[in-house]
Amino acid sequence: MEQREFVRAIQSCRRRLNLAGFLGKLVSALGVGAAAGIVFQAVSFVMPLYYARHYAVLALFLALLAALAAAYLRRTDMEQAALVMDSFGFEERIVTAYGNLGKEGALVALQRADAMKELRAHRDRIRIRLLPPWKRTGFLAGLLAALLVLALVPSGMKDRAEELHHVKEEAKEKTQEIEEVVEALGQLEQQEELTPEQQALLQEMIGSLQASWSEYQQVSSSEMMRAVTEKLNYRYENMGSQLADLAQSLQNGAAVSSVTAESMQALAQKMQEKSGAQLAKGNAGQPGGQGGSDQNGQGGQNGQNGQSGGNGDQGGNGQNGQGGNGGGDGDGQAGNNGGSGAGQDGDSGGSGRGTGTSSTPHDYVSIPNDIADSGNLTGNAVDHDASGYFHAQNGLSWEGTHMSHEAVIGSYEQNAYEGIAAGKYPSGMEEIIKEYFSNFD
C-alpha cells in the first residue's frame, strides 16, 4: 500500500514535467513557425505568391508536429522525475526509495518509510511550473499578431497573385477540355470510312484546337483569358456547325456506319454547348410574302420579296406584264408593307413600278453591280454594264441587291472573326476588332 502511494506520487510529478516540457518546446517551435510565416507574407507583398497564407499555416502546423515529436523523444522517465522531486529538498530520499522498489529487507523498509514521511510532510515544496517564462510567451504572441496582420493587409500584389491563380486554374480546366475534344476528333479521323477530304477537315479542326491549347498555356491575365476563351468559343461554334453538316451529309449518303455519324453529331452538339450557342434550326430568316398581280392580258410578274427574317420589311413592287385591252393593277406585298403597280392600256406591253410604303423606319444598303477586278474584292461581276439608277419616291436609287445594314455588318463581322480564328491579324488587334463590331450592337 505504501509503495503504491509512493509510485503514484512520482507518476504525478512525471506527467507534470512532461507537460511542462511539451509546452516549452511548443512555444519555441511556434516561434520559428511564425517567423517563417512572416517571411512568406512579406514575400507576398513584393511578388505574386498566392499560397503565402497556406505556407504560413503549414509552417505553424509543422512546428506543432515538431514540438510533439521532441516532447515524446525527450519525455521524462520515473527515475528522472524522482531526481527532480529530490531537488526540492528531499536529499535523494525519493530516488533512493524508487531504486529499491521490489527489494525486501529491514534497511530498505526503513529508508522507504523515511522517504514517505518526508514526502507527506513537505509535498507542497514540489512546484513544477507548466508555462514557459512570460518573455518567451509574449514574444510568441507578438510574432503571431504580426503574422495575422500581414495576412489580412490587402495589397495589389496579393490581388495579382489571386488573379494569376484563378487564371491558371481556368486554363488548366480548358486545356483538359481541349484534350478531350481533340481525342474525340482523333478517333473520328481514324475511321477508314471517311473520305480524305473529310479526314483533312477533321485534322484541320484538331490543329485549330491545338493552337488554342498553346494559347491557354501562355495566358497570364484575365484579359488574355477572356480573349483566348472568346476565340475558343468561336472555334467551337464554327466546328460544331461543320461537324453537324458533315454528320447530316453522312447520314443522308449512308457512306459510313450510323455509329460514326451519331458520334460526330454528338460531338457537334457538345461543341455547340461549350460555345454557349445552339445548333441552327431551319433556315436563317424566311423571305417576305410575294406580291400578287391582277392584270388584263398575259401574266404579270410577282412583287419583289421582302428582306429575309420572319416578317419582311421591304415593300414589294407589283409590275405588270404585257397589258391587254384593259388597265391592270398589281398588288405586291412583303411582310407588313404593300406595293401596287399600274398597267397601261392597249396592245403594247405595259410596264410600271410600284411604290412601297411602310409605317416602320428601316435602314437599307444598296449594293450596285460592282466589278470584282481584284481577288480581295467580292461582288457580282455579271451584267455590270446594266447597273444604273432610277427616280424613286425619295430620290435617286441605284439598281442592284438591297440588303439591311444589319445583314451587311453581320457578314463583315463573321469574316472578321474567321480571320481572328485563322490568325490573319497582328497580335493585339483581336480585341480592337471585337470592340469595333460590338459598338454596332
Q: What is the pLDDT of residues 372-408, one digit of tens each?
A: 444 444 555 444 444 444 444 555 454 555 566 666 7
- Cα distance between the two ends of the chain: 97
Show the DSSP H helices in 44-133 as ranges.
52-73, 78-86, 93-99, 106-121
Residues in CB range of 83: below 8 A, 6 or more apart: 92, 94, 95
Sign of CA dihedral 97, 103, 106, 107: negative
Contact 334, 349 (CB under 8 A): no
Cell numbers describing residue 399: 439598281
pLDDT at 283: 36
The pLDDT value recorded for residue 195 is 82
All residue ranges of the chain with pLDDT < 70 are 1, 252-259, 276-407, 426-428, 441
What is the rounded distance in angstroms from the CA atom of residue 307 to the CA atom of residue 301?
18
For residue 80, CA distances in Å to 73, 114, 124, 290 come to: 14, 20, 19, 110
233 CB-contact burial (10 Å; exposed 0-12 / middle 13-18 / buried 19+): middle
Query: How much is the pTM?
Result: 0.54
At residue 400, the pLDDT reads 55
Q: Are strands 337-342 and 401-404 parallel, antiparallel or unpaired?
A: unpaired
User: In 254-313, which residue ranges form alpha helices assigned H by DSSP?
Assistant: 258-275
What local confidence, expressed as pLDDT, does residue 371 receive? 46
pLDDT of residue 240: 86
pLDDT number for residue 6: 86
Which residue is listed with cell 410600271?
Answer: 352
Q: What is the DSSP letter of 292?
A: P
Please tell me the predicted confidence (pLDDT) of residue 194: 80
- Alpha carbon distance 57, 63 (integer Å): 10
Q: What is the signed CA dihedral for 171, 174, 175, 177, rounded to 10 degrees?
A: 160
